[in-house]
Structure 1
């Protein structure tokens, strides 16, 4: 599927895409966007409508989508609405509706021999209170142990990300905590660490928990320049030196590592979970 061209000009037309949910919309966005990545040549204008909890709200959404459809290309709709009446109302809109819940609910009802509850919000964190609380505790731990701020209870960490500044340690530890309930700390590698023999002292008892991040000198310099333009900290030479030194450190201590330059946080987290054999 290629770009849809505008008959009146050379600019491609963006296909309207709606993510509809009876809760936050995060699941609809995640699953829908994953499917849309398979069509990289297409352009999309995305809109999320969360908390559709009544038939009246659903009808209002249908009216809005139908109005968009009347002006051009029919929208694409990704829905994670659970309630049957609301789901059926949304299905009436003049759009290509991808029901991300309904089809699979029917399959599971057949397999389990029982009807689904039909209650919204069960897929968004609060359905399992124990797991939700575990994630919040992991987030608190990640915040306390961000960038080496605290060494307290470092033995409780399931993984410790180590890397030079601005290689993606903080967003990755937060994602591991929030999405997977992993106790993740992170520790910065500074120039003095590369001049010493071995890992930074606080990390030495926990070398087996360490996972390294690296980047490319060009990408790291670009990110650091946004923070400290014109500084030696952001220079290509300094970035190259720190990254080379970090990789040598990882290799010397058998620390697995990953180049974060062109990898998403989600992909980094998945790789870390796999390589460190972390259960979540």
Structure 2
């Protein structure tokens, strides 16, 4: 069977959420030219789920002629051993770091399920994050500017420049309260900051995007409309970017960035701390 060197099946496997596996896997695979066909298997903590996972691994191996790549984090010894016996290339995302910390601190690790986040130990932090998500949803897409003084940051930009996914990511991952406000077609006639933004200028941050990319995104939503036309996209972006420069509002171009990268750059440029939950 001829091997397709342009793609590989990749599984993210964990007895928890698998978020750590995905994050580290993405960082590693970003160094390689092949396309990753990714699947995530969270909460693999019993034989039934493990059996299904191994079935998927074997099927991938049979279909493509090469073992899939598995980034995993498993603490149950029996499940770990069986996974390592499957027809796959396995990478424990925590093992080397855990062993280094064990050696440097002379402390024995105490592996346990669902160790990355504990609601019982971080109740206040957990509910802070829920409140941040609720606040961000209530202030999505310009729906409300009420209680804007509670916001950690206010994202500005044209429609479909990445404000909503970025806002929700920062709320869910870092417990930040985010307001996002879109500049629409009618705003372009006399584009200026709202009074509510003037008094919270230090919280403002802009998102922009390449016109070609914006056009493609809008065409998927409303094909053939003026809203999705190249001319309209270019016109809106030119006006909004001019506003950002005129008002000294920091901004970044989101065209080639993931939501994780967008969020990290905003936090760095705005000097915000990550409230890990």
TM above 0.5, yes or no, is yes
SS in structure 2 of the partner of residue 6 of structure 1: coil
* CA–CA distance in structure 1, aligned partners of residues 131 and 123 of structure 2: 12
Alignment gaps of 5+ in structure 2: none
* CA–CA distance in structure 2, aligned partners of residues 64 and 228 of structure 1: 38
How big is the shift at 1:254? 0.8
Structure 1, 121-130 or 252-261: larger mean CA deviation:
121-130
SS in structure 2 of the partner of residue 130 of structure 1: helix
Cα deviation digits, residues 153-177 of structure 1 (max 9, x gap):
1011111001111111111111111
The reply to whether residue 48 of structure 1 matches residue 48 of structure 2 is no
The reply to whether residue 254 of structure 1 matches residue 248 of structure 2 is yes
Counterpart of 2:2 in structure 1 is 6
Contact 1:167 1:220 in 2 (8 A): yes
Cα deviation digits, residues 89-118 of structure 1 (max 9, x gap):
322333221111223222222333332221
SS in structure 2 of the partner of residue 195 of structure 1: helix
How big is the shift at 1:245? 0.8
The reply to whether residue 211 of structure 1 matches residue 205 of structure 2 is yes
CA shift in 2, pair 1:128/1:98, >3 Å: farther
| 1:1-280 equivalences in 2 (<5 Å) | 6=2, 12=5, 14-40=7-33, 42-54=34-46, 57-58=49-50, 61-62=53-54, 65=57, 68-69=60-61, 72-124=65-117, 126=119, 128-196=122-190, 198-280=192-274
Contact 1:171 1:265 in 2 (8 A): yes
CA RMSD of aligned residues (A): 2.5
* CA–CA distance in structure 2, aligned partners of residues 197 and 76 of structure 1: 50
Give the structure-2-normalised TM-score: 0.87
* CA–CA distance in structure 1, aligned partners of residues 258 and 37 of structure 2: 22
CA shift in 2, pair 1:223/1:197, >3 Å: closer
* CA–CA distance in structure 1, aligned partners of residues 42 and 57 of structure 2: 14
SS in structure 1 of the partner of residue 199 of structure 2: helix
Contact 2:21 2:72 in 1 (8 A): yes
How big is the shift at 1:20? 1.5
Give the structure-1-normalised TM-score: 0.86
Contact 1:23 1:124 in 2 (8 A): no
* CA–CA distance in structure 2, aligned partners of residues 76 and 259 of structure 1: 33
Cα deviation digits, residues 196-242 of structure 1 (max 9, x gap):
37312321111111101112222222222222333222222221111
